[in-house]
Amino acid sequence: MRRLKKIASLLLIFTFSDCASQKGFVFKNNPLFGWLESSSYERTINPDPIFQKSPNLIAHEFEFPAGGKLGETFYIAQKFGVENQKFGNRLHLGEDWNFIGGGDSDFGSPVYSVADGVVSCIANYGGGWGKVIRVVYKIQNNQSTQFVEALYAHLYTIEVEPGQMVRKGEWLGGIGDASGKYSSHLHFELREEKNLPLGGGYSFETKGYLAPTKFIINRLGLEKKMTEDQFLYERLAPTTGLKTLNQI
Ligand SMILES: [Zn+2]
């Protein structure tokens, strides 16, 4: 079945891929980039035909991209929308998910799809981005549908192909450090639309970007309901004695 899925997604790549696309390669004013390494690549597909053929592929529920089912054992090392002096006081456009052990203790650990969706891009941009996966999710608000796109960055490994349909909780890849640029962590963005430019991870405004954890908390499955207050953004390493999320 897994193999069939792979073959199907390879066929989709063949049909829809635009390997020569330079979509999203934005160098100017892009503080995360620095340079493009020669090994860089980007493979994208247009997910629209896949969503059209699979009308039931709707992201009804969301989950966190790392850690346990409630995000336990991970914490947000850098929150969404905070100013970062290293990037000229620009605002962080995603969240940095880190294992409570700190340092590189999460290197290689799984990154999960936050919902059911379609992989629209896999890439290695080198520089400050490293390996990146984009997944498009279709959500339903009353009668209307909307697409949001998640961007999972600095990965060590990529385990999915463009055009692949993924389930909530499916392993997309492993947490990495963008080839040693940082201590390993997951930079996780959630965009209000699909196919926005790659961007630089930071900007003077957060327009077009969603606060990931807030968005997910509002869409957790019924059995996992929690409020934003219950999510300890500032969780620290266990040695500090602070409680982790699974203890509250
Ligand atoms: Zn980040």
| Percent of the chain scoring above 90 in pLDDT | 60
Tell me, what amino acid is at 192? E
Sheet strands (E) in the chain: 41-44, 74-78, 83-84, 90-92, 95-99, 110-112, 117-124, 131-141, 144-155, 157-158, 165-166, 171-174, 186-191, 202-203, 209-210
Q: What are phi and psi of 75, to 5 degrees?
A: -140, 165
What is the CA(89)–ligand 1 centre distance, in A?
A: 14
Whether pLDDT at 189 is above 90: yes
What is the CA(186)–ligand 1 centre distance, in A?
A: 7
Average pLDDT over every residue of 187-196? 96
What is the CA(52)–ligand 1 centre distance, in A?
A: 33
- The answer, as to whether pTM is greater than 0.85, is no
Instruction: Dump pLDDT digits (tens) for 23-72.
Output: 344 444 455 554 444 468 899 999 999 999 999 999 999 999 999 878 88
What is the CA(221)–ligand 1 centre distance, in A?
A: 26
* CATH placement of domain 2-247: 2.70.70.10
Instruction: Dump pLDDT digits (tens) for 85-127.
Output: 999 999 999 999 999 888 898 999 999 999 999 999 999 998 8
What is the CA(110)–ligand 1 centre distance, in A?
A: 17
- The domain ranges of the chain are 2-247
What is the CA(97)–ligand 1 centre distance, in A?
A: 8
What is the CA(116)–ligand 1 centre distance, in A?
A: 23
